[in-house]
Amino acid sequence: MTHLRSLLLRWLLIPTLGLWLLASTLGYLRSLAQAHEAYDRTLLGSALVIGERLSVENGQVVAELPYAALEMLRTDAQDRIFYRVAALPNGRHITGYEDLPPPATPPGTEPLFYDAVYKGQNIRVVALAWSVVDETMPRSLSVQVAETMDARRQLTRRIASEAAAMQLLLIAAAAGLIAFGVRRGLTPLKRLRDEVRARGANDLTPIDTHSVPREVVPLIHAINVHTERQRQLSDAQVRFIANASHQLKTPLTLLRTQVDHALQQTDYDGMRTVVKRLHLSTQSTQRVMNQLLSLARSEPGRTLDIEEFDLAELAREQTFEMLVLARAKSIDLGFEGDMPVPVRGEAVLLRELVANLVHNAISYTPPGGQVTVRVALCEGRPQLCVIDNGPGIPIDERPKVFERFYRGSATSEHGTGLGLAITKEICDRHRIEISIGDGPEGKGLHIQLLWPVEADSG
């Protein structure tokens, strides 16, 4: 596992050392150029002194080489010094070192500096043109002065090494300051770590972002989002356990009582009567369990499994599955919707939604009543309506019917109070608008579901 401090120090110090190496190389080249510039001036001065002491006697060029001309080139490095005087343009040797390398082109009005190799050593040479006056005509001469490069290199290395050492000291000081700054900069993260460690196991409140660096805020926001999801899942689990214990305690007690009563029966007819009641209680308990599971699936913390399907086909299937229940109460159950109505969503939850609405309508509609399920497009938006002519819901109670375990005061039917609560949560997850109105001729109930234009809920 990589430490953030080590990672920051590596990213800061390694590039800095790379820049130091580059700066040292460039500094060496710059120092060499400066050394050339300084020593070239001295080299040119020696060549000028030699040129000034050239003369013509009896038709011959005479060079009286002064001691000062070469002494000014003397250094602690004990460089070797060479010179040569030759005639122009034929290059005939006059005095000095005859095999001293000449320039590639004859010198002109400006001094010509160049590098060469002489007697196995690298040398720096200056060549200049010089004129002496003869009795009949002026003569053009070439004056060359050369020296080895030891002094220049020593000076370059000394300047470059001193500069590199100074830069390295500054980098070392900067590294200490950077390490101190990184350590101080990570202090808010350490405080945040201690704060999170000190939290209790059930503390899922968001982490405060006011005391952390701005660069860390997106990470804290992401952690808070994840923590909120975990909190929602934990709350959903707690609610499910509470709902299950609330709803299953009575049915399970009733089932046990009926089983005990059945075991006490000695005749076949009595036992058959108790078993029928047991069968009805089992169906009711199964319905409660299905509703609780649907409620758990519709919790906000769970990701939906989105797919595209035909709402009309889904509603038709769920309506036909309720025909047995409707016939048992002599209720006229009808379905309207011939055209395909494509929607997107989780089919399992939307099947439960339709089943809850139709089951509620059948359950609360008196025998001989009517229930109609209608699927259509309303201004381009998918629409599902469940209409009945039952007792309806008073206007002042309609906002409460979507609460869990709420049962209206106008009904005597036994129920769990979860059907419309599940319907509302499924609608919220799919961004479906749900509204409650009066049924035909002001009687009964008209529940309308209207999908968004882009029914790609998530």
275-293 confidence digits (pLDDT tens): 777 766 676 666 666 656 6
Rounded to whole angstroms, the Cα distance separating 351 from 343 reads 13
Rounded to whole angstroms, the Cα distance separating 39 from 153 reads 11
Could you tell me which residue, 458 or 225, shows the higher pLDDT?
225
Tens digit of pLDDT for each residue in 55-84? 877 777 777 766 655 555 555 556 788 888
Note the pLDDT of residue 458: 41
CATH code of the domain in which 234 resides: 1.10.287
Please count the other Cβ atoms lying within 10 Å of the Cβ belonging to residue 287: 16
Over pLDDT 90: what percentage of the chain? 14
Same domain assignment for residues 20 and 146: yes
Tens digit of pLDDT for each residue in 9-39? 777 778 888 888 888 888 777 777 777 787 8
CATH code of the domain in which 355 resides: 3.30.565.10
* Domain range enclosing 320: 307-450
Same domain assignment for residues 69 and 28: yes
- Among 239, 270, 297, give the residue marking a domain's end: 297
Q: Is residue 138 part of a domain?
A: yes
Answer yes or no: is pLDDT of 192 > 80: no
Could you tell me which residue, 245 or 191, shows the higher pLDDT?
191
Q: Is residue 413 part of a domain?
A: yes
Rounded to whole angstroms, the Cα distance separating 390 from 413 reads 12
Asked if the bond preceding 251 is cis, omega within 30° of 0, the reply is no
Same domain assignment for residues 316 and 277: no
Same domain assignment for residues 85 and 127: yes
The structural domain count of the chain equals: 3
- Among 115, 137, 157, give the residue marking a domain's end: 157
CATH code of the domain in which 137 resides: 3.30.450
The DSSP string of 139-171 is EEEEEEEEEESHHHHHHHHHHHHHHHHHHHHHH
Note the pLDDT of residue 372: 94
Answer yes or no: is pLDDT of 340 > 50: yes
Q: Is residue 231 part of a domain?
A: yes
Tens digit of pLDDT for each residue in 434-449? 998 888 777 889 999 9
Quick one: pLDDT band at residue 456, thresholds 50, 70, 90?
Answer: very low
- Identify which of 142-146, 203-207, 213-217 has the greatest average pLDDT: 142-146
- Identify which of 206-220, 285-299, 352-366, 418-432 has the greatest average pLDDT: 352-366
Same domain assignment for residues 255 and 149: no
Note the pLDDT of residue 453: 79
Same domain assignment for residues 42 and 69: yes
Rounded to whole angstroms, the Cα distance separating 153 from 137 reads 44
Same domain assignment for residues 323 and 380: yes
Residue 304 Ramachandran class (φ > 0 left, ψ -120 to 50 alpha, else beta): beta
Answer yes or no: is pLDDT of 302 > 70: no
Same domain assignment for residues 241 and 326: no
Q: What is the pTM of this model?
A: 0.45
Q: Is residue 183 part of a domain?
A: no
Answer yes or no: is pLDDT of 330 > 80: yes
Q: Is residue 168 part of a domain?
A: no
Q: Is residue 251 part of a domain?
A: yes
Note the pLDDT of residue 109: 78
User: What's the mean pLDDT in 370-387?
Assistant: 92
CA atoms within 13 A on the CB side of 47: 30
Note the pLDDT of residue 385: 94
Note the pLDDT of residue 94: 85
Same domain assignment for residues 253 and 344: no
Answer yes or no: is pLDDT of 249 > 70: no
Q: Is residue 358 part of a domain?
A: yes
Answer yes or no: is pLDDT of 370 > 70: yes
Same domain assignment for residues 78 and 12: yes
Same domain assignment for residues 59 and 142: yes
- Among 129, 157, 185, give the residue marking a domain's end: 157
Same domain assignment for residues 11 and 144: yes
Tens digit of pLDDT for each residue in 233-246? 666 666 666 655 55
Q: Is residue 177 part of a domain?
A: no
CA atoms within 13 A on the CB side of 90: 4
Quick one: pLDDT band at residue 202, thresholds 50, 70, 90?
Answer: confident
